[in-house]
A and B are shown apart, each in its own frame.
Chain A
Amino acid sequence: MKHQTLISLMMLAALPALAQQPAAPSAAPPKPSVPPSYKDLKFGALRPVQIPKVEETTLPNGMKVYLLEDHELPLVRGVALIRTGNLFDPADKIGLASITGELIRSGGTPAKSGDQIDEELENIAASVESEIGESSASVSFSTLKERTAEVLATFHDILTNPAFRQDKLDLVRTQVHGSIQRRNDEAHGIAEREFVAAVYGPATPFGWRIEHATIDNITRDDVVAFYKRYYFPANIILAVHGDFNAAEMKAALEKQFVDWKATQPPVPAFPKVETQAKPGIRFATRTDVTQTSFALGHLGGVLNEKDYPALEVMADILGGGFHSRLFQKVRTQLGYAYQISSSWGANFDHPGIFEIAGSTKAASTVETLKAVYSELDRMRTQLVTEEELQSAKDTVINGFVFNFDTPSKTLNRLLTYRYFGYPDDFIFQYQKAVQQVTRADILRVARQYIDPAKFVIVAVGNPKDFHTPLTALGPVTDIDLTIPGSATSPSSTTADQSVAPAAASAPAAPAPSPDAIASGRELLARLAEALGGEAKLAAVKDMTQKADMVLDASAGGLRAAQTEIWLAPSQYREEDVLPFGKIVSYYDGANPAAGWMFTPQGLGAIPPQEQAQIAFELFRKWFPLMLSARDAGRTVTEKEGRLVIADQQGNSVEIAIDPATGLPASESYPQAGAPANKILETFTDWQETAGVKLPRRIAIMQNGKHFADLRVTGVEINKGVTAEQISKKP
């Protein structure tokens, strides 16, 4: 069978050659033959790379900006680097930085919930993302060119004014609890995590880990405070890359960020690495795997130390690729592993980890580790060959062009260098230094910097199948994989506090403490000041506001043109022009019976629920509300940083304050006449009229879902509205 197949294949292969033969005599000159060896190939000089010019500028508020035009594709991408990181997590609130990073994006802005932003961005195939890593944080965006203006605005709002909605804090907490619960699912993940923790020390910011308890300790106030401390213009560098005109982009950014003037003291240096590592072998048992995952090594170094280039070359020869010694020995010659590698692991700002990692079948665990040790020993006692050194150098030098093959690499590198305070030409210095590394240098750094006696060794696997017990390599400590606090199911019951103001239960609540009253009054005084001052607020006798209101599609998709007239102290008129007609209502708090409502069906009394709503609107009109301290019938208290104002009729509202501007960020309240519905209004685009600031955009959420948007098109104050005008029937 076998032979027959081969023969028929050969015959078939010969057929086309025969068929082509007649054409051969008249064919073009014979094909050039193939050189016998690849060494015979001659390569021309590589065309010089074009290193793109990055434009640098500083915005008036102190934010550094880097711009790189690139017109190949109709895309614009940007990233803001913020100097902070999870190294700043408090020991009892580990996870605060990463939760803050997540919540900056998911928690939305005062004007829009995170869900609403998700939808808006996905509708136009754009993205805005935020994260906080170990020693840097970012907020980034990506968009089709034509959507740049609106995506830039969303990027700006998220970066400068995140709302940190409670429901999203609850969601991210649930998610983090879930991932803690799963952290022992994969053996490889266990090995890597335990190794890093052991090298840096499990009680240091570099080695500790998020636990159920540290997550439960984190409150919204912690998140807000973390954000406020680090997110301010002078602490941010911004890079934008793509299809735009640099001068126009600069102008757009200046305009977009002109109002962001938050300041904070300079951010302190990150904590230093003070290793508490205890060398030795640590082992965790997993009976569901056939391989042992392992990692071994100790503290590495930083990128700008003198010996870094030699160390990098050394680690590359040891375990950096197909050509490396570990790959050749452990994988190719012994067939013990698919994955085996080493890296020197230098960081920009703090020592990284020199690490050798891999995995092998359980039986060959100890044999593999022994092979690793013997290669380490060879590296520390003998010179590498000239060929090995040249190969490692050629790899760096010939591949150097790939550091410049896309414009974005140049920009990202510049941004990283600036962030960590490295010279702009660091990569060229490195390339030059690599060329000067000698065989003696490699031996010297291997001896000086690598000390197997200080190694932490972590292995995870099934010891039942080990050919040789791990104790053959030294004493073994077992790793405790118990997840603290995992016995009890983590609470996911904190949901939906977001829009349920405490004041909603005011009637049954105990009397507020004197402290809460004092700080409530102080908050209110500050708010009144931010809005223009009590005198200006008290001087408002009437206000006429025109607005466009759009209900969500899910709420009927209705649009309305709305005119509200307020006349001190207690008269209110509202006119709504709707697709099906006009509704006008008038109400006087001092004489409710005089109210009326005009609809396309005719004139009548105001139904009870609408009446409750209008009474509530009168209660929370800005001018009486901000002067509530003067009204003996109202209580003003503070609760978890928010201002709570209530009256004796059961109306109450809770106001969150934007830390950046001191203005109200949002109000939440139970819907009047339907208290089961929780309403959250968020305010943006504050503009001044007659010395008083009022929001021009209001986003309304009902029970955590976006419900409607209100865009104020005009505000007039003290235009002399009379009682007769405001109560005039249509």
Chain B
Amino acid sequence: MKTVHLLLPALALAGQLAAQDLKAFEKRVTEFSLANGMHFIVLERHDAPVVSFHTYVNAGSVDDPKGNTGLAHMFEHMAFKGTESIGSTNWPAEKAAMAEIERRYDALDAERNKLAKADPAKLKKLEEALGEAVEKADSYVVPNLYPRIIEENGGVGMNASTGEDSTNFFYSFPANRAELWFYLESARFLHPVYREFYKERDVVREERRMRIESDPQGKLMEAMVSTAIAAHPYRVMPGGWASDIENLRVSEAEKFFSRHYAPGNITIAIVGDVAPARMRALAEQYFGRIAKRPLPDPVLTVEPEQDGPKRVEVASPSQPIEFVAYHRPDQHDKDDPAFDVVAGLLAGGRTSLMYTDMVRDKKISLEAGAVATFPGGKYPSLFVFYLIPGAGHTAEDNEKELDTIIAGLQKDKIDDAAMARIRTRTRASLIHQLDNNSGLAQLLAEYYVNYGDWRRLFTSIDEIDRVTADDVQRVARKYFVPTNRTVALTYQPPEPADAPAAGGAQ
């Protein structure tokens, strides 16, 4: 009784705030689409003379063609390589040299494709010839000029990311340099160049080594998704498979760009000290140059229902880690908000079920938590628990405790106080996200693309409000069942007898 009484004013208050924020925001938002389909959302914030830009491409690693995993990520890297005029000392000569690389690569591939019948001597010669062509093309390059222009002009937070569902490019400029952004951003998506492609491919390969191969959690995560998901492209992480990356070609990247970077597949959010009319004029001027292209098809593969528990173990000298994953529907399913609430109840903060039980009271975990939607939301995906056992505890005893918690969620209804707490937190966390240009730009674009309306950023909390304790129980009973489950955990292999003793000195 007491707790509920305390909570009511906070709830009512937060409700008002969200409604006010939406109204206040609507006044400051201008939205428009170009004839080619590219969509813009402009939010005025005049507090400081700065502006943040976010380009949201509705294509990610799920769109990687078969055998070309890692391609969406590869293209993201190429987008920093400049344009015909930016980054080249002699574009016609460079273009010809790049074409020569492709011809020599084709010849090399033709020989390689003979597999066992390939002639090693011929291969070696072709590889050398390819290397020479690469060096020739590189001689025309002004390295990293494109990002350097951004940095020299005071651009900050410049980066890009490739996920399963989307590819994102973002940075902020002093407000007087807004037109430079239009210049640079439109140029790279008007005529991308595939400069230094094969060296950048090595960098992309290194990124995979760093994030996946040399990181125990990364390795385990890869094993988890590729075990839990059988058919859908979500089963491959955006980093791709090593051998696929090593064989990526410019022609594949060109095709990928032309299909997935259609202007209608790109949304741009601009937040800061700008005049919307001017932004619109600049958008027409710079991005209006890009011809309309048809939108790519969505992924049609539907993940089949899992019909039994799965378990995968990954050798690792690290202390134990375990992931437990259950299939869940996509972000448009009516149960989507309930999954967010379940994750909040289980793992949101110090009052959550997993923290209080596993970390605080039983002291068997260093960390224990849950992620509602992984690895993406556009298509059916996974609800994932992660368990980091404390010293002297095993993945197995953590898993057992998690099972008890899940069983409790299925058996007993969550009390009103905990449900109210989740709602209050959701509203407050929205308010906390509203004072940062670059974060706002990302959110506006993300909600527009995923739900068709940026207002959803504000109205989605009403859906959280509508989730009941019954929904929580129903979702836990329906989805957290053994046949729908995949467990991935590390194990310590016995020390190999020939382990190098004094490695570096060898």
Contacts and interface: CB of A to CB of B under 8 A. Distances in A.
A and B associate in one complex: yes
A288 B218 CA distance: 12
B427 to A, nearest CB: 7
A399 B48 CA distance: 13
Contacts of A175: 359, 366, 390
B392 interface: yes
B143 A46 contact: no
Contact of B147 (A144, A185, A322, A360): A322
Contact of A125 (B14, B179, B209): B14
A463 B500 CA distance: 8
A469 B506 contact: yes
A402 B349 CA distance: 32
B391 to A, nearest CB: 4
Contacts of B437: 405
Interface in B424-464: 424-425, 427-429, 431-432, 434-437
A335 B183 CA distance: 28
Interface in B282-309: 284-286, 288-289, 291-294
Interface in A531-565: 550, 552-553, 557, 559
A400 interface: yes
A395 B500 contact: no
B428 A125 contact: yes
A154 to B, nearest CB: 13
A593 interface: no
B317 A287 contact: yes
Contacts of B273: 47
A519 interface: no
B152 A38 contact: no
A322 B144 contact: yes
Interface string B20-44: 0000000000000001100000000
B232 interface: no
A184 B318 CA distance: 7
A391 B176 contact: no
Contact of B214 (A177, A291, A469): A291
Contacts, number: 316
B277 to A, nearest CB: 14
Contact of A74 (B17, B50, B138, B147): B17
Interface in A22-52: 31-38, 41, 43-50
Interface in B145-169: 147-149, 151-156, 158
A287 B317 CA distance: 9
A335 B500 contact: no
Contacts of B504: 281, 283, 285, 459, 463, 469-471, 476, 478
A437 to B, nearest CB: 16
Interface in A428-480: 459, 462-464, 469-471, 476, 478
B350 interface: yes
B176 A36 contact: no
B50 to A, nearest CB: 5
Contacts of A74: 17, 431
Nearest to B37: A16
Contact of A287 (B49, B205, B499): B499
A14 to B, nearest CB: 8
A337 interface: yes
B77 to A, nearest CB: 10
Contact of B184 (A38, A286, A336, A476): A38
B172 interface: yes
A64 interface: no
Interface stretch (B2-10, B119-127, B372-380, B479-487): B2-10
Interface string A3-20: 001100100111011001
Contact of B48 (A32, A41, A336, A401): A401
Contacts of A184: 317-318
Given A38-B86, A333-B199, A464 B435 contact: no
Contact of B144 (A124, A284, A323): A323
A398 B152 contact: yes
B499 A338 contact: no
Contact of B421 (A5, A122, A287, A478): A122
Contacts of B36: 16
Contacts of B132: none
A123 interface: yes
A13 B291 contact: yes
A489 interface: yes
A115 interface: yes
Nearest to A183: B319
Contacts of A73: 431, 434-435
A288 B316 contact: yes
B287 to A, nearest CB: 10
A359 interface: yes
A229 interface: no
- Give the secondary structure class of A's interface: mixed
A289 B213 CA distance: 6
A165 interface: no
Given A47-B175, A359-B206, A391-B151, A492 B285 contact: no
Contact of B3 (A123, A170, A285): A123
B152 A394 contact: yes
Nearest to B1: A557
Contact of A338 (B3, B198, B203, B435): B203
A41 B294 contact: no
Contacts of A177: 390-391
Contact of A332 (B175, B176, B199, B392): B199
Given A400-B154, A406-B48, A45 B421 contact: no
A575 interface: no
A382 B258 CA distance: 45
Nearest to A33: B285
Interface string B311-345: 00001111100000000000000000000000000
A181 B317 CA distance: 12
A38 B149 contact: yes
Contact of A171 (B210, B293, B363): B363
B143 A333 contact: yes
A290 interface: yes
A119 B351 contact: yes
Contacts of B392: 489-490, 492
Contacts of B412: none
A683 to B, nearest CB: 21
A37 B85 CA distance: 8
A44 B273 CA distance: 14
Contact of A398 (B154, B186, B432): B154
B503 interface: yes
A130 to B, nearest CB: 13
B13 interface: yes
A464 B501 CA distance: 11
B503 to A, nearest CB: 3
A405 B154 CA distance: 13
A399 B184 contact: no
Contacts of B251: 2
Interface string A380-421: 000000000001001101111110111100000000000000
A188 B502 contact: no
A32 B285 contact: yes
Contact of A123 (B175, B180, B209, B417): B417
Contacts of B434: 73
B177 interface: yes
A75 interface: yes
A181 B14 contact: no
Given A122-B425, A402-B154, A402-B156, A43 B177 contact: yes
Contacts of A559: 2
Given A124-B424, A398-B174, A323 B213 contact: no
Given A283-B505, A327-B144, A398-B152, 16 more contacts: A17-B291, A17-B292, A33-B285, A41-B179, A45-B176, A123-B421, A125-B424, A187-B214, A285-B500, A289-B214, A333-B199, A334-B199, A338-B209, A394-B152, A395-B151, A464-B500
- Which 9 residue pairs across A and B have the least CB separation, nearest first? A398-B154, A283-B504, A335-B202, A125-B428, A285-B503, A322-B147, A289-B214, A489-B392, A399-B154
